[in-house]
């Protein structure tokens, strides 16, 4: 799961009222983090545990106690004084009975555990003394210290980054307690988290956002007795005389993603390319008549890549009038509102397009990726596939999925057309995948795309990866 600060507080409160004291949660968190640190480091290394005045400090005292109990060289340091919460004070007192009194820092450390500030940190509280502590930690890292953050690196906001100054501790590893925090996936703050590792506290999963971790194996199944009708028919509308390649990439991606039959309405220039590069697709003219005649034969329609026609609005209305899922991309992202309908509407903007759609700046979107995507999806009752440095799938009910870890080689023209083709193809197979909720099916498709891009990196440098490499890898993905 991925929590904001309020959800993190709510789960703590739920645990307390349900009979699981915070002292126990703190013990579980600290003990598991200490175990992971012991698996990585020796007793000869100097370990500094920095404890703040809140519950993160309490976690730090548990970690220090567990390490010293096992013979590790541990220094406890409280740069801003004693802990102030009752739960943290209990564990501080227990640690002191193991001889772990707080000390001043001295010399160079091999390992630093950051338990200074947690999810409740307010950037407006930055003072010179906090800056000085952050600078000292930065110097220690430059000298080779390995840095572990408890739950969230100190100085990092939990939910949004619009007020983030860049002053924070940069971790090598962040141990996320129970759930990841939103800022671990935001552009300004993600690099401060380092490697993310989740610590399971034995709590139930609440909240609406989750990191996509399910296997894509269900997408790779095939009915041995099926036929092309089993896997649906998709219609793609796109391409123009100046951008004939976009629809070709989308068509190739759709075919590689398993759709049974593919119809493509495009301009003559792109038709020639399709005949050569995707001969499995059936080509029709990009006219209102041809599109209308085809609609009663398809299970899904996707429109937009490379599209510049004056008839876009009319074609979108034709698609909305049918009881089939509709995917809007690129040139088709022109709506201010959407009709109420049973079948899904999926919009697939990149950050710039989404800023235009929401009348906000790119920076505002990047600072509040989760909030902005969710607000749009709920307001318009559409599924939003927001393409940023991560991919967010926001659902009409609120919440959604995050796909992380795609190749940086996707920052190139044609990548969005590829994802559009994959998603349209999978929605065309919705009946075959009827045991999978539609939002999850879309998230699995985006995960397939991300995994294919990452596996291409095993053969090519990210700078050299192009969309066709990712398309060709789809059928070779090992999950």
**Residue 283, helix vs strand vs coil:** strand
Annotated binding-site residue? 172 = no
Section 363-379 average pLDDT: 97
Alpha-carbon span 150 to 196, nearest angstrom: 11
Annotated binding-site residue? 55 = yes
Note the pLDDT of residue 158.
93
User: Judging by beta carbons within 10 Å of its beta carbon (0-12, 13-18, 19+), is residue 98 exposed, middle or buried?
Assistant: middle
Encoded tokens for 147: 């840095």
Note the pLDDT of residue 207.
74
Note the pLDDT of residue 161.
94
Annotated binding-site residue? 115 = no
- CATH classification for the domain delimited by 2-207, as one of 3.30.1310.10, 3.40.50.10260, 3.50.30.60, 3.30.70.20: 3.40.50.10260
Annotated binding-site residue? 368 = no
Give, as one character, the DSSP assignment of residue 102: B
The separation between the first and the last C-alpha atoms of the chain, rounded to the nearest angstrom, is 21
Residue 125 has pLDDT above 80, yes or no: no
Q: Where in the chain is the domain with CATH 3.40.1190.20?
A: 217-476
Alpha-carbon span 452 to 431, nearest angstrom: 25
Range from 5-19, 259-273, 448-462 carrying the lowest mean pLDDT: 5-19
Q: Provide the pLDDT confidence category of residue 30 given band limits of 50, 70 and 90.
A: very high
Annotated binding-site residue? 56 = yes
Q: Are 261 and 234 in contact (CB under 8 A)?
A: yes
Domain spanning 217-476, CATH class: alpha beta
Q: Are 333 and 304 in contact (CB under 8 A)?
A: yes
Q: Which secondary-structure segment (H or E) carries 256?
A: helix 245-256
Q: Provide the pLDDT confidence category of residue 205 given band limits of 50, 70 and 90.
A: confident
Encoded tokens for 256: 């590689």
Q: Are 382 and 398 in contact (CB under 8 A)?
A: no
Q: Is the pTM of this model over 0.85?
A: yes
Which parts of 52-203 are beta strand (E)?
73-77, 111-115, 146-150, 173-177, 180-181, 195-199
Note the pLDDT of residue 444.
98
Q: Where in the chain is the domain with CATH 3.40.50.10260?
A: 2-207
> Which residue would you say has higher pLDDT here, 120 or 41?
41
Q: What percent of the chain has pLDDT over 90?
A: 89
Note the pLDDT of residue 156.
95
Contacts of 89 (CB under 8 A, 6+ apart): 58, 82, 83
Alpha-carbon span 37 to 68, nearest angstrom: 12
Annotated binding-site residue? 350 = yes
Encoded tokens for 341: 């309908």
Section 189-208 average pLDDT: 91
Residue 124 has pLDDT above 80, yes or no: no
Note the pLDDT of residue 6.
86
Encoded tokens for 252: 């190739």
pLDDT tens, position by position, 51-92: 999 999 999 999 999 999 999 999 999 999 999 999 999 999
> Which residue would you say has higher pLDDT here, 49 or 165?
49
Annotated binding-site residue? 154 = yes
pLDDT tens, position by position, 414-444: 999 999 999 999 999 999 999 999 999 999 9
Encoded tokens for 389: 């440095």
Contacts of 118 (CB under 8 A, 6+ apart): 52, 54, 55, 56, 150, 151, 152
Note the pLDDT of residue 478.
79
Note the pLDDT of residue 462.
96
Annotated binding-site residue? 163 = no
Note the pLDDT of residue 110.
98
Encoded tokens for 77: 């340091």
Which residues are 173's β-sheet partners? 148, 195
Annotated binding-site residue? 331 = no
Annotated binding-site residue? 114 = yes
Q: Provide the pLDDT confidence category of residue 100 given band limits of 50, 70 and 90.
A: confident
* CA neighbor of 352 nearest in space, from 379, 380, 333: 333
Alpha-carbon span 52 to 288, nearest angstrom: 65
Which residues are 197's β-sheet partners? 175
Note the pLDDT of residue 12.
84
Q: Are 20 and 204 in contact (CB under 8 A)?
A: no
* Distance set, CA 262 to CA 280, 298, 328, 331, 418 (Å): 8, 9, 17, 20, 15
For residue 129, the Cα-to-chain-centroid distance in whole angstroms is: 34
Annotated binding-site residue? 299 = no
pLDDT tens, position by position, 274-303: 999 999 999 999 999 999 999 999 999 999
Alpha-carbon span 88 to 444, nearest angstrom: 41
Alpha-carbon span 331 to 351, nearest angstrom: 14
Note the pLDDT of residue 159.
92
Q: Provide the pLDDT confidence category of residue 204 given band limits of 50, 70 and 90.
A: confident
Annotated binding-site residue? 93 = no
Note the pLDDT of residue 328.
98
């Amino acid at each position: 799961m991925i929590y904001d600060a309020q959800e993190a507080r709510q789960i703590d409160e739920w645990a307390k009222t349900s009979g699981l004291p915070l002292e126990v949660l703190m013990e579980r968190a600290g003990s598991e983090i200490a175990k992971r640190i012991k698996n990585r480091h020796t007793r000869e290394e100097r370990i500094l545990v920095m404890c703040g005045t809140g519950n993160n400090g309490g976690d730090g005292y548990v970690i220090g106690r567990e390490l010293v109990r096992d013979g590790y060289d541990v220094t406890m340091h409280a740069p801003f004084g004693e802990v102030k919460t009752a739960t943290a004070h209990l564990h501080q007192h227990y640690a002191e009975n193991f001889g772990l009194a707080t000390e001043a820092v001295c010399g160079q450390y091999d390992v630093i555990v950051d338990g200074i500030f947690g999810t409740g940190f307010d950037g407006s509280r930055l003072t010179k003394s906090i800056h000085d502590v952050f600078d000292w930690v930065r110097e220690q890292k430059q000298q080779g210290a390995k840095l572990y953050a408890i739950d969230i690196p100190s100085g990092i906001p939990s939910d949004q980054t619009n007020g983030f100054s860049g002053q924070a501790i940069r971790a090598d590893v962040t141990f996320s307690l129970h759930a990841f925090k939103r800022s671990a996936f935001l552009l300004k703050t993600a690099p401060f988290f380092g490697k993310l590792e989740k610590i399971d506290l034995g709590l139930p999963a609440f909240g609406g956002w989750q990191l996509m971790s399910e296997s894509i194996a269900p997408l790779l199944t095939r009915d041995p007795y099926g036929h092309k009708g089993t896997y649906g028919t998709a219609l793609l509308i796109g391409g123009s005389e100046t951008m004939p390649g976009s629809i070709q990439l989308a068509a190739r991606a759709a075919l590689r993603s398993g759709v049974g039959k593919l119809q493509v309405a495009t301009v003559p220039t792109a038709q020639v390319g399709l005949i050569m590069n995707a001969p499995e697709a059936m080509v029709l003219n990009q006219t209102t008549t041809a599109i209308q005649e085809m609609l009663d034969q398809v299970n899904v329609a996707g429109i937009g890549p490379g599209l510049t026609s004056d008839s876009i609005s009319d074609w979108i209305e034709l698609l909305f009038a049918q009881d089939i899922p509709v995917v809007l991309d690129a040139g088709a992202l022109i709506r201010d509102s959407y009709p109420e309908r049973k079948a899904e509407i999926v919009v697939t903007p990149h950050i710039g397009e989404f800023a235009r759609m929401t009348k906000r700046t790119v920076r505002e979107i990047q600072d509040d990726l989760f909030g902005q995507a969710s607000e749009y999806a709920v307001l318009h009752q559409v599924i939003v596939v927001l393409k940023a440095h991560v991919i967010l799938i926001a659902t009409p009910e609120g919440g959604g999925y995050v796909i992380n870890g795609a190749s940086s080689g996707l920052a190139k023209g044609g990548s969005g057309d590829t994802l559009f083709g994959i998603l349209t193809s999978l929605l065309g197979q919705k009946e075959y995948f009827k045991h999978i909720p539609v939002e999850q099916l879309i998230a699995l498709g985006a995960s397939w795309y991300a995994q294919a891009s990452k596996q291409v990196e095993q053969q090519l440098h990210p700078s050299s990866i192009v969309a066709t490499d990712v398309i060709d890898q789809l059928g070779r993905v090992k999950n």
